[in-house]
């Protein structure tokens, strides 16, 4: 088996190379608070099952999960409700559309979202989180994230959540549409409140690489030996990461990188190299599909140099 970078210095060289393309990217600003990020940032942590972590860049810098949270809420909801219930309400197929598109909902019958990684599907998933109030549902999700990272200090960024809540017109439109088609049956505002808090869960690359590692190890935290989710659920999540994790660039990413990964518009990418290690990346300059431009470049370099593709 090819060994990945064993030292921080080795990894730093790849980061320096990938960093060159941050100039071609742009920080997301449709959520106003995200616009404050520094487009030149690029950091990575790689977490091995024996607890070793190789890192480069400012890995202490915190960022919000945004769409990366969709994999985590999916895992929780699959545990809460079971696969039949969940996949009656959200599909398993990739779309070639942008993450926030409403187009397919209108042309498909039934209007069930195609997959849980696009916003329409993720909103249905968040709707299915069990609990008696937004607070209780959010607390359950946050506790699950804390368990995945094995750190009870993980929280969310109120400023980013508020900023998205104020500007979520498109997501509100998706929820109204899904309510009309009886896929969602709760009020729009509480759901947007819960979803924006979910997306604003905040951590650094090191924490994110730990979550990637749990998925890579089929749902077990190798450091504690604790099973955090059933193997089947970890498998379903990783499959969605391959087919839909990198927005409508997932096909190209599967060919060029071949690592189950999920990105978010904050510039985060979580990678899970099956059976081997977890990856956390933060690089807020995005390409035109909404993926971290330097993060993708970095994964391409690592995958090519160390033969990391699972295919
Ligand atoms: N909170 C973001 C939204 O719903 C997440 C999008 C993303 O990271 O792709 O627009």
164 and 240 assigned to the same domain: no
Question: Whole-angstrom Cα distance, residue 295 to residue 82?
Answer: 33
pLDDT score of 105: 79
Which atom of ligand 1 is least distant from the CA of 68? 8
| Total number of domains in the chain | 2
User: How far lies 57's CA from each of 3, 18, 245, in Å?
Assistant: 21, 12, 24
Query: Both tokens of residue 234?
Result: 């970890």
* Residues 110 and 148 grouped into a single domain: yes
Range of the domain at 173: 67-199
Is pLDDT of 74 > 90? yes
Question: How far is residue 15's CA from residue 57's CA, in Å, rounded to a whole number?
Answer: 8
Q: Which of 182, 199, 216 is the last residue of a domain?
A: 199
pTM, rounded to two decimals: 0.96
Q: Among 184, 199, 214, give the residue marking a domain's end.
A: 199
Among 199, 219, 237, the domain-final residue is: 199
pLDDT-based confidence at residue 110 (cuts at 50, 70, 90): confident
122 and 271 in a single domain? The answer is: no
Task: Fill in the DSSP letter of residue 110.
Answer: S
145 with 216, same domain: the answer is no
Task: Dump pLDDT digits (tens) for 193-237.
Answer: 999 999 999 999 999 999 999 999 999 999 999 999 999 999 999
Q: Is the pLDDT of residue 111 over 60?
A: yes
β-pair type (268-273, 277-282): antiparallel
Tell me which of 19, 48, 69, 70 is the catalytic residue.
70
Distance 122 CA to ligand 1 centre (A): 9
Distance 235 CA to ligand 1 centre (A): 23
Statement to judge: residues 58 and 89 lie in one domain: no
Q: Residue 130 belongs to a domain with what CATH number? A: 1.10.1500.10
Supply the mean pLDDT for the chain: 95
Q: Distance between CA 238 and CA 274 in Å, rounded?
A: 9
Same domain, 161 and 253: no
265 catalytic per annotation:
yes
Question: How many angstroms does the Cα of residue 220 sit away from the middle of ligand 1?
Answer: 27
pLDDT digits (tens, 9 = 90+) for 129-179: 999 999 999 999 999 999 999 999 999 999 999 999 999 999 999 999 999
Residue among 159, 264, 283 to mutate when testing ligand 1 (max atoms within 8 A of CB): 264
Considering the candidates 71, 101, 112, 247, report the single residue annotated as catalytic: 247
pLDDT per residue as tens digits for the range 26-51: 999 999 999 999 999 999 999 999 99
Q: Are residues 264 and 167 part of one domain? A: no
Do residues 83 and 195 both lie within one domain? yes
What is the rounded CA–CA span in Å between residue 269 and residue 279? Answer: 8
What is the distance between the terminal CA atoms of the chain, rounded to a whole angstrom?
14
* Same domain, yes or no: 93 and 137: yes
Question: Is the pLDDT at 53 greater than 80, yes or no?
Answer: yes
């Amino acid at each position: 088996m090819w060994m990945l970078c064993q030292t921080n210095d080795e990894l730093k060289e790849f980061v320096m190379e990938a960093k060159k393309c941050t100039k071609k990217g742009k920080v997301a600003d449709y959520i106003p608070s995200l616009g404050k990020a520094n487009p030149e940032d690029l950091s990575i942590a790689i977490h091995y099952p024996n607890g070793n972590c190789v890192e480069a860049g400012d890995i202490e810098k915190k960022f919000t999960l945004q769409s990366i949270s969709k994999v985590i809420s999916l895992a929780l909801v699959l545990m809460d409700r079971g696969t039949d219930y969940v996949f009656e309400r959200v599909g398993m197929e990739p779309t070639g559309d942008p993450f926030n598109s409403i187009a397919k909902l209108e042309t498909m019958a039934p209007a069930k979202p195609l997959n849980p990684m696009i916003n329409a599907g993720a909103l249905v998933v968040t709707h299915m989180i069990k609990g008696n109030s937004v607070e209780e549902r959010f607390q359950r999700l946050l506790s699950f994230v804390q368990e995945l990272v094995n750190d009870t200090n993980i929280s969310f960024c109120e400023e980013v959540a508020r900023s998205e809540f104020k500007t979520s017109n498109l997501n509100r439109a998706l929820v109204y549409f899904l309510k009309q088609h009886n896929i969602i049956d709760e009020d729009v505002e509480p759901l947007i409140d819960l979803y924006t808090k979910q997306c604003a869960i905040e951590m650094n690359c090191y924490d994110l690489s730990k979550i990637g590692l749990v998925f890579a190890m089929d749902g077990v935290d190798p450091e504690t030996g604790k099973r955090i989710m059933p193997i089947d659920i970890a498998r379903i999540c990783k499959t969605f990461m391959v087919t839909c994790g990198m927005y409508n660039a997932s096909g190209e990413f599967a060919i060029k990188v071949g690592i189950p990964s999920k990105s978010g518009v904050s510039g985060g990418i979580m990678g899970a190299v099956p059976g081997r290690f977890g990856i956390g990346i933060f690089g807020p300059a995005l390409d035109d599909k909404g993926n971290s431009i330097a993060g993708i470049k970095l994964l391409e370099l690592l995958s090519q140099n160390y033969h990391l593709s699972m295919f």
